[in-house]
Amino acid sequence: MARKRSLPRILSLIVLTVAAIGFAFPFYFMLVGAFQQNPTNSPSEVLPTSGWTIDNFTAIDSRIDLAGSLLNSLIFTAGVLLGTVVFGLLAGYAIARLDFRGRGVIWVLMLLVQMVPFQLLMIPLYVQITRNYGLGDSYLGMILPFLINTTAVFIFVQFFKALPVEIFEAARIDGAGEIRLLTSVAIPLIRPVLVTVVLVTFIGPWNEFLWPFLITKDASLQPLAVSLANYISNVAQSTANPNGAILAGATALAFPVVILFIVFQRFFTATDLGAAVKG
């Protein structure tokens, strides 16, 4: 009987292991190829024993400021994350927990905004930010259009609505105001959601290259995605190892996201929100 019960578990572990290997293999191939003198997709070179080099990264750094581009990406992404979290929490809490006139209209308008592709808004935003605000070739000009993320607001609204109303009523009886309710009651209960929003938001600006490319022509301010896009399209094919250069650029761009996910994945935990309510 025990063997019959363990068989499905063993099969599920095998399937999950194969799926994990299939998911991780492209990252492995990218990382190995970035340090190879002659990357290839030959099966015999999946586990190379020789040909290791860092010249691919040196070639990138000789054409673009790799450290400076990384710093620009961090500044751009950190500014977007700060705005997303701060405004997303405030707007999400207000829509979910406060009763005010026009709340339903704001909610519908926010959903409609999500249906409009950012590419359609890019040119009007570019004209407004560069001509009206004079923020071309600046970090603020890159960050400003992404300060409020309607997807993040939507996620926060749904989870704030899921919190038991009795918790907020008890805190109000104890004299807590709305800011205290948000910071001391609501946010601690949705930490996994907060981490999810941070990770989802991080990927967008970190990989974004169209908007920063439009807003700044100063190479010293361009994020890594823009610098690498210019490098791969204009320079990589002329290097001694074009495949290695492309894989090295992809590695430099992708692995900060992978590392961030590995660091924060332990915060993805299930919570029993109803445990705080008696009865």
Q: Is the pLDDT of residue 272 over 70?
A: no
User: How many C-beta atoms surround the C-beta of residue 166 within 10 A?
Assistant: 13
Q: Is the pLDDT of residue 39 over 80?
A: no
Q: In sequence order, what are the beta bridge partners of 36? A: 52
Q: List, for residues 190-203, the tens digit of each pLDDT value.
A: 888 888 888 888 88
**Separation CA 15–CA 245 (nearest Å):** 34
The SS3 assignment for 52 reads strand
Q: List, for residues 4-13, the tens digit of each pLDDT value.
A: 557 777 888 8
CATH code for the domain defined by 60-276? 1.10.3720.10
**Across 36-40, 115-119, 271-275, which has the greatest mean pLDDT?**
115-119
Nearest of 136, 127, 129, 144 to residue 216 by alpha carbon: 136
Q: Where are the domains of the chain?
A: 2-45, 60-276
CB 91 within 8 A of CB 183: no
Q: In sequence order, what are the beta bridge partners of 52? A: 36
Single-letter code of the amino acid located at 184: S
Nearest of 91, 88, 122, 125 to residue 106 by alpha carbon: 91
Q: What is the pLDDT of residue 4?
A: 57
Mean pLDDT confidence for 38-59: 70
Q: CA quadruple 194, 196, 199, 203: dihedral positive or negative?
A: negative
- Backbone phi and psi for residue 105, each to the nearest 5 degrees, phi listed first: -65, -45
Nearest of 200, 203, 204, 184 to residue 192 by alpha carbon: 200
Mean pLDDT confidence for 268-276: 53
The pTM of the full predicted model, rounded to 2 decimals, is 0.80
Q: List, for residues 89-148, the tens digit of each pLDDT value.
A: 999 998 888 888 888 888 888 888 888 888 888 888 888 998 888 888 899 999 998 988
Kindly indicate the confidence band of residue 43, based on its pLDDT and cuts at 50, 70 and 90: very low
Q: What is the mean pLDDT of the chain?
A: 82
